[in-house]
Structure 1
Amino acid sequence: MSVRVQTDDFDLSTELLALRRSNPKIGAVVSFVGAVRDVNDGSVVAEMTLEHYPGMTESALIAIIEQAQQRWNIVDALVIHRIGPLQPLDQIVLVAVASAHRGEAFAACEFIIDYLKTEAPFWKKEQTPDGARWVDARDGDDAALNKWR
């Protein structure tokens, strides 16, 4: 299991290849990549800045992966989350899960991103034509989380 919070971008192919080759028991790798949109809540987004709570954020991400490991038989998992200023189309987050079979990998990947969106200490500020604004949690994110409870 690996968690990284970083300003640098990541290369999806490199990360998935390293995960897939980490263990010969892996038969499936499922991934999710989140990206910065150019419009949010009806406003054009010129830039989004992501902030986090160092140490606490990484611990929260590890705890989320550990919860997934308790629910599904996964071999390995990777979460990379970027911080700092990002532009539309930039990658924000990678969640990748490796398991022997696809069903467990799909479920665990969805679980991890649903928990990450609501439970990990990240804050987003968008730059719009009307000025800067903090992004509130979405009702849809809470609903996605509730299906796992």
Structure 2
Amino acid sequence: MINVSLQDKKINTDQEIQHLKSPYKGAIVTFHGTVREWTDEVKTISITYTAYEKMAIREMINVSKEVWTEDTAITVIHRIGTLDPMDTAVFIGVAAPHRQEAFQICTHIIEELKVRVPIWKEECNATKS
């Protein structure tokens, strides 16, 4: 199973983890990318994410397919719109029979997501809006 989406509402991470559970999968690894309130000495007010949505979804699927196997499940959700500090901007969940595979898949997805998926962020901070 591969499930990817862009959404403008808060990500229900507990619900997404429940969807990944299976009696055949002994490991669930998650990555929650959150909006930092502070970057060095600069306070973040908000971050607005935009995307070339059709291409972003397609590339999220492609990245997931590169590491998916029949005995794994992958969920990738990225927020779009304006987010506040501490909001979850991206959620990646991977269920696999064993932890090592789940960690490797999750790491691959976040690294490739940052490079290949056309999602942009504009920060509004205390020194610049």
Letter in 1 for 2:9: D
Task: Quote how far apart the aligned CAs of 1:25 are.
Answer: 1.9
Q: Distance in 2 between matches of 1:18 and 1:61?
A: 19
For the residue of structure 2 that corresponds to 1:55, the secondary structure is helix
Letter in 2 for 1:34: G
Partner of 2:39: 40
Partner of 1:27: 26
Q: Distance in 1 between matches of 2:47 and 2:121?
A: 7
Task: Quote how far apart the aligned CAs of 1:131 are.
Answer: 2.2
Runs of 4+ in 1 over 6 A off after TM superposition: none
Contact 1:50/1:123 (8 A) holds in 2: yes
53 and 38 in structure 1: CA distance in 2 versus 1, 3 angstrom threshold = same
Asked if 1:126 corresponds to 2:127, the answer is: no
Note the residue ranges of structure 2 that are not aligned, 5 or more in a row. Answer: none
What whole-Å deviation, never above 9, does each CA across 1:15-70 have from its counterpart, x for those lacking one? 1011114xx3211111000100012354211010000001100001000001112x
| TM-score (normalizing by structure 2) | 0.92
For the residue of structure 2 that corresponds to 1:89, the secondary structure is coil
Query: Greater relative contact order (Cα 8 A, min sep 6): structure 1 or 2?
Result: 2
Following superposition of structure 1 onto structure 2, how do residues 1-149 of structure 1 map, counting pairs within 5 Å?
1-21=2-22, 24-40=23-39, 42-69=41-68, 74-132=71-129
Q: How many residues are matched?
A: 128
Q: Distance in 1 between matches of 2:80 and 2:118?
A: 12
Stretch of structure 1 that moved more, 91-100 or 36-45: 36-45
For the residue of structure 2 that corresponds to 1:30, the secondary structure is strand
Letter in 1 for 2:95: A
74 and 124 in structure 1: CA distance in 2 versus 1, 3 angstrom threshold = farther
C-alpha root-mean-square deviation of aligned residues, in Å? 1.5
